[in-house]
Amino acid sequence: MTQIHPTAIVDPAAELDSSVSVGPYTIIGPHVRIGAGTTVGPHCVIEGHTTIGRDNRIFQFNSLGAIPQDKKYAGEPCELQIGDRNTIREFCTFNIGSPGDAGVTRLGNDNWIMAYVHLAHDCMVGNNTIFANNAQLAGHVHVGDWAILGGFTTVHQFVRLGAHCMTALSSMLVADVPPFVMCQGQPASARSMNFEGLRRRGFSPERISAVKAMHKALYREDLTLEQAKARIAELSAKTPEAAPDVAMMLSFLDQTTPQRGIVR
């Protein structure tokens, strides 16, 4: 049977797998679904149209699935979707989406979310990310796989963070962060590429060399963005092994708007 503490309040309409455990004084609403092996600590509130996958560890004092902090929200049945094997530490707040976007806030799989993290409405977070304490995402922010956000990182609405990027302590992001880039500052500027992280993830020396060449084109050769993209596109022929990395970078840069731009 599902292990529900006697002081917890779980709506009869909620769908919890039989292996789910729920701690003391937690409240779970009627439109919540929680998958096998997930543990929910004490004093949590999980509400709204919230779906949580398998084997997640949700620590105490979290608020998941509350309505967005958006004055335009009028009660629409938007959603929060959380994948599998995520760790969500204390005092995090994840809101549902809003009708002004896809209507969904989404956290992928295998993410490590530390205390006091905020995911606002319509944020899309990939897999294998790390958010240090007090990382704060405004609405409509997209974060790619393997991104690492340093403590007290704040992200402006609609900003995108590419895969494998990294932010330093107290970074303030008002522009897109391309894949692989390490940035720092208020507002943040690019410092280097996340080479050590790529080595730890098994990137070959050839792929890392291609990432270095992308960094050089974007930040070291005084090129316009269009010129840098042309230079980066040439790397696929020179280093076929890095062709997926080059394609990912070009796709990201193609979606950056002139109004937002990239960190410089």
Q: Which residues pair with 95 in a beta bridge?
A: 66
pTM: 0.96
Q: What percentage of the chain's residues is helix, strand, coil (to nearest 5)? A: 20, 30, 55
Q: Taking Cα atoms as reference points, which of 29, 60, 57 lies closest to residue 44?
A: 60
Active site residue 139: yes
What 46-49 contacts at long range (C-beta under 8 Å, 24+ apart), as own/partner pairs, is 48/78, 48/79, 48/80, 48/96, 49/77, 49/78, 49/79, 49/80, 49/96
Q: Of residues 31, 49, 118, 121, which has the active-site annotation? A: 121
Backbone angles phi, psi at 156, to 5 degrees: -65, 155
Q: Could you say which residues of the chain have pLDDT below 70?
A: 1
Q: Which residues pair with 167 in a beta bridge?
A: 149, 183
pLDDT the model gives residue 131 = 98
Q: Of residues 48, 108, 139, 197, which has the active-site annotation? A: 139
pLDDT the model gives residue 181 = 98
- Tell whether omega for the bond before 30 is within 30 degrees of 0, i.e. cis: no
pLDDT the model gives residue 81 = 98
Residue 243: how many other CB atoms lie within 10 Å: 15
CB 19 within 8 A of CB 1: no
Q: Of residues 122, 145, 176, 245, which has the active-site annotation? A: 122
Active site residue 121: yes
Query: Alpha-carbon distance 25 to 14, whole Å?
Result: 16
CB 155 within 8 A of CB 161: yes
Largest CA distance in the chain: 64
pLDDT the model gives residue 1 = 59
